[in-house]
A and B are shown apart, each in its own frame.
Chain A
Amino acid sequence: MTTHTTTPPAPASGERRPAPPQKLRAWVTRAPLLPALVFLIIVTQLPMVATVVISLFDWNALYPQARSFDGFANYAEVLGDAELRKSVLTTIVLTVVVVLVSLVLGLLLALLLDRKFRGRAAVRTMLIAPFLLVPVAAALLWKHVLYNPEYGLINGVLNAVWSLFGGDAPQPDWVAEMPLAAVEVSLIWQWTPFMMLILLAGLQSRPPEMIEAARVDGAGTWHIFRYLTLPHLRRYLELGVLLGSIYIVQNFDAVFTITSGGLGTANLPYTIYQTFYQGHEYGLASAAGVLVVLGSLIIATFALRVVSSLFREEARS
């Protein structure tokens, strides 16, 4: 609400009485915007500022008396801590694998669904379903119902298939033997529908005349895909990668549920949560948080650029 008093430069001296109608009108136009803007700044931007401030303090909640200004020592510790560095790497691997695999699968599914066939709407609904499971529920489903080494569906099916041939099926403990892959598969299952939806929207915005013309000119299916469809999809692919990255970098639920951050699967959000919630190291957690924000800003800059180019394109059409 303070913006009211600060923004308009003091009106020309003397003529104060008849409020300049133009300025007034500008504020009337702006008024509906202000509640949302002020609310958002208070609830999202203030905590960020506080995080930056806390990150400069040596502050463990268990020793509140020992709180002291520490400069950038927390940052040095975060960057020097092998475990935290590992969680940076884990975050990158997790994000890259999940985003790229779901993007490729999503593209294949979008291409399949771009054609007319019997029951297309039903298949589309089936494909969206995994995305509409509460994330914790989806992670529980994979952890207990599918991955469990003794009675999980995967090992159960292996057993059933092997017993047809009279052999002994391998019964791996999926989460213990390949923890990161286990988390990744569950996330890919949930995020492929997201990529598919974005790419399908991209495919359906292709001008059909263009494809028709190419076909009349004798272009083959592969050529049409390579030289017409793919370039048209570029923006949508970029958007899928960037939005997917923003959501997956922040993922907490799957890591927390499937491995509880153990077995080398702790990503940055989990590590920050642990440093602050279990370790009570407020200063360290905040420094790690600031570093995550800086990392996200880099992705976000690209994401905003892509969104704004799509936005301008749409405004023109």
Chain B
Amino acid sequence: MSAPTQAPPAAVTAGGPPAPTTRVGRNRTAGAALGLLAWIVGILFVLPMLWMLLTSFHSEGDAATNPPSLAAPLTLDGYRDFFGVGGGASPWPALANSATASICSTVLVLLLAMPAAYALSIRPVKRWTDVLFFFLSTKMLPLVAGLLPIYLFAKNTGFLDNVWLLVILYTSMNLPIAVWMMQSFLAEVPVSLIEAAQIDGARLPTVLARVVAPVAGPGIAATALICFIFSWNEMLFARVLTGVVAQTSPVFLTGFITSQGLFLAKVCAASLVISLPVLAAGFAAQDKLVQGLSLGAVK
């Protein structure tokens, strides 16, 4: 909040009052202090995760000491344990289920949301804002309220413990967000550009590929990453609707809730490995993250 310290110092001497040097000096100190404070807070926030990373590389014995042992020797035992090398449940089926549910639902979301966003921005239907807000309103209803009928439906049709049921549900969960985000990205494509292409005789597929895609492409990619994150994270539906066959990674993690004995390194390794796709997708989509999370309301 202090004066812009990045202002070139030359500008100050160019005819300012004789006092400014001290003021700029003070501001610069204050600026440096605030920068340092930001660093400290940032490190504090990320500290639990760094500790988790370190613990995941400790042996179970070193992970559970009090006071904590910082300099204990590093080992991959936690990861070996998690991947079931020495027996125990393998996480691979759960990881594969999560990947199927997240990737397939994201593809489905894109297939449904792209044409919808087109009809809400480039060639808008009448009362398109009402339609847009209808999409948003479905996102505001708590999912848990619809869980029981979906469970009963799945039970009676044999879809219980089937990953494709999750694909359908995650698609509906993310569709409103995707429509909102894409609408705002497609709206950035200048209409004049599209019209010019059409006058030149380009047909719709060409217009989409040559004019719309280059402008809206990064936004569409970010939308996909955010849908992927939400699907990957989801636990309540997955827990109720899946069992041994179709369980996803977060459900696999719930197995650690009541664990006894020495398992800290393993739980840290498991949490990190399972969070890795989300961390990667999140950092890749960092710049568009707010826009997605605020349903396109903030740019």
Contacts and interface: CB of A to CB of B under 8 A. Distances in A.
Contacts of A150: 64, 66
Contacts of A153: 48, 51, 68
A128 interface: yes
Interface string B144-157: 11111111110000
B181 interface: no
Q: Which of A54, A202, A277 has the most CB of B within 10 A?
A: A277
Contacts of A4: none
Nearest to B253: A136
A293 B145 contact: yes
A43 B169 contact: yes
A287 to B, nearest CB: 10
Contacts of A128: 282-283, 286, 289
Contact of B38 (A46, A112, A193, A290): A112
Given A126-B42, A141-B271, A145-B48, A221 B2 contact: yes
Contact of B175 (A40, A117, A192): A40
Interface majority SS on B: helix, strand, loop or mixed?
helix
Given A39-B171, A117-B38, A277-B240, A111 B1 contact: yes
B293 A132 contact: no
A275 to B, nearest CB: 9
A135 B268 CA distance: 14
B51 A194 contact: no
Interface in B98-126: 112-113, 115-116, 118-120, 123-126
A54 B270 CA distance: 39
Given A48-B146, A134-B271, A136-B235, A37 B38 contact: no
Interface string A289-317: 11011001101100110111011001000
B282 A289 contact: no
A33 B115 contact: yes
A141 B254 contact: no
A311 B297 contact: yes
Interface string A214-246: 010000010011000000000010010001001
User: How many of chain B's residues touch chain A, expressed as a range?
Assistant: 35 or more
A47 to B, nearest CB: 3
B37 A112 contact: yes
A145 B52 contact: yes
A36 B66 contact: no
Given A115-B2, A146-B48, A137 B275 contact: yes
B253 A137 contact: yes
Interface string B257-299: 1110001100110111011001100110010011001110111
Contacts of A256: 235-236, 254, 257
Interface stretch (B10-18, B79-87, B129-137): B129-137
A179 interface: no
Contacts of B37: 112
Contacts of B146: 44, 47-48, 50-51, 289
B283 A201 contact: no
B42 A127 contact: yes
A31 B148 CA distance: 32
Name, among A32, A39, A143, A160, the residue most crowded by chain B CB atoms within 10 Å (CB to CB).
A32
Given A140-B253, A140-B256, A197-B289, A273 B240 contact: yes
B176 interface: yes
A97 interface: no
Contacts of B283: 125, 128, 132
B43 interface: yes
A69 interface: no
A85 B68 CA distance: 42
B131 to A, nearest CB: 7
A136 B145 contact: no
B65 A151 contact: yes
B76 interface: no
Given A40-B175, A277-B240, A296-B141, 8 more contacts: A54-B148, A109-B38, A117-B34, A127-B45, A135-B235, A141-B268, A236-B298, A296-B142
Interface of B: 1-6, 31-32, 34-35, 37-39, 41-43, 45-46, 48-49, 51-52, 55, 63-68, 112-113, 115-116, 118-120, 123-126, 129, 131, 133-153, 168-169, 171-172, 175-176, 179, 229, 232-233, 235-236, 240, 249-250, 253-254, 256-259, 263-264, 267-268, 270-272, 274-275, 278-279, 282-283, 286, 289-290, 293-295, 297-299
24 contacts: A33-B131, A39-B112, A44-B172, A54-B149, A115-B5, A115-B38, A129-B279, A131-B282, A132-B275, A132-B283, A133-B49, A134-B274, A136-B233, A150-B66, A155-B66, A156-B67, A198-B293, A198-B298, A215-B3, A250-B143, A268-B144, A306-B297, A308-B129, A310-B297
